[in-house]
Amino acid sequence: QVQLQESGPGLVKPSQTLSLTCTVSGGSISSGVYFWSWIRQPAGKGLEWLGRIYTSGSTNYKSSLKSRITISGDTSKNQFSLELRSVTAADTAVYFCARFMERRGLDYWGRGTLVTVSS
């Protein structure tokens, strides 16, 4: 059974960088058929896709975040990471990592981690 677990600081100061890691177990991020994704949900709002990384290292990002976001992978640790720079209060949200497969959608999700941007 594939499991994903988000980890990282729960509090980030405005203008600083939010960094989260997703550790994958029960499956390899090196597998060639999956994209490894980040999604967030601000309080009281809907799900927002942030971006994804493929096995090859190629990435796709939400257009409005392209200047601030980087998703990277570490196959040796079976982890992938999210970096969001110059954060503001609007970046306060529960952040989820998830596995995506073409046609299967986002089939496995982490439990989510709350990140608050505040001084």
Partner 1 sequence: QSVLTQPPSVSAAPGQKVTISCSGTRANIGSNYVSWYYHVPGTTPRVLIYDNNKRPSGIPDRFSASKSATSATLAITGLQTGDEGDYYCGTWDSSSREWMFGGGTKLTV
Q: Residue 100 interacts with partner 1 (CB under 8 A)?
A: yes
User: Residue 77: which H helix or E strand, with range?
Assistant: none
Residue among 5, 16, 19, 41 that touches partner 1 (CB under 8 A): 41
Query: Is the four-CA dihedral 88, 89, 90, 94 of positive or negative sign?
Result: positive
Instruction: Tell me if 62 sits within 8 A of 106, measured CB to CB.
Output: no
Q: 15: left (phi > 0), else alpha (psi -120 to 50), else beta?
A: left
Instruction: Tell me if 48 sits within 8 A of 62, measured CB to CB.
Output: yes
Q: Residue 107 interacts with partner 1 (CB under 8 A)?
A: yes
Q: How many residues are given for the chain?
A: 119
Residues 47-66 that bind partner 1 (CB under 8 A): 47-49, 51-52, 60-63
Q: Residue 90 interacts with partner 1 (CB under 8 A)?
A: no
Residue among 76, 105, 118, 119 that touches partner 1 (CB under 8 A): 105
Q: Residue 80 interacts with partner 1 (CB under 8 A)?
A: no
**For binding to partner 1 (CB under 8 A), which residues are involved?**
37, 39, 41, 46-49, 51-52, 60-63, 96, 98, 100, 102-107, 109-112
